[in-house]
Amino acid sequence: MKFMNGLNRVIIVIGCLILMATLTALFIFPHVMLEGAGQWMMDWGIYLGRQDPWVRLGVGIALASVVNLLLLAVIVLEVRRRRDRYLRVQQVAGGMATISVESVMELLQHRLDPLPGVINVAPEIHAKGNKVDARVEVGVSRGTNIPETAGLLIKTVQSVLTDELGMQIAGQPEVQVTVVARDSDRDSAPDRSRVDALETPPPLPLAGAASALPEHTTSRREARDMDNLQPEPTTGDDAA
């Protein structure tokens, strides 16, 4: 649908620009434009008339087939898009009411976003006869109970389509769940390199300890030698 909308805009804009330039030149210089176009068409007619008839016929059929197929594809996509653009509300008395597909998807997104554990949701709605086909792609956070969340999503989709919008669902709504991480979870996750750096103890200063050992040992030995060299205290008997 978005592709067809964009393609329509591009075709309309390009076509309008070409028409503006062509019609402006034709209205201002009609004799030049018509004479030039006629001469150009005559030259092409003479050139193609000199070609082999079978080759000219085969190339013409091939080009016509390609162009027709492309145009038919555009027509089919355009008709299908317009058919799915509005959905019929079934539970209406005394008349007929329709609602756009975009409005249905916006309402579903508005109802599904606040559900617990849901981070993002992308609903898709397609017409299937007088019923609608519902499909929802949803991203949930880590630790979410997937079966419980999927069941709640399905019940919410059914309630919105049948009770609020008065539509009939073709089969059961389809829910595709993807587990994604929130930005806050990524920011709060610890840096593994920092954790490893904190958990790893600093290396022992073996080289420094080895170089310092002889100095301490030598100083202690010198202190003992100095104590041994000090004279012993003399007594009275030794003096006599």
What is the per-residue pLDDT across 173-196, written as a single tens digit (0 to 9) for each? 888 888 887 655 545 555 555 545
Which residue, among 173, 174, 178, has the nearest Cα to 120 in the 3D structure? 178
Instruction: State mean pLDDT over 130-156.
Output: 86
Topology annotation, domain 89-185: Alpha-Beta Plaits (3.30.70)
Cβ pair 113, 145 in contact under 8 A: no
Q: Where in the chain is the domain with CATH 3.30.70.1350?
A: 89-185
Instruction: State mean pLDDT over 50-54.
Output: 89
Question: In whole angstroms, what is the distance from residue 109 CA to residue 101 CA?
Answer: 12
- Residue 66 confidence (pLDDT): 93
pLDDT greater than 70 at residue 84? no
Which residue, among 127, 133, 136, has the nearest Cα to 169 in the 3D structure? 133
Instruction: State mean pLDDT over 163-169.
Output: 83
Cα distances from 168 to residues 28, 99, 103, 151, in angstroms, run 59, 13, 16, 19
- Residue 200 confidence (pLDDT): 56
pLDDT greater than 50 at residue 147? yes
Mean pLDDT estimate for the chain = 76
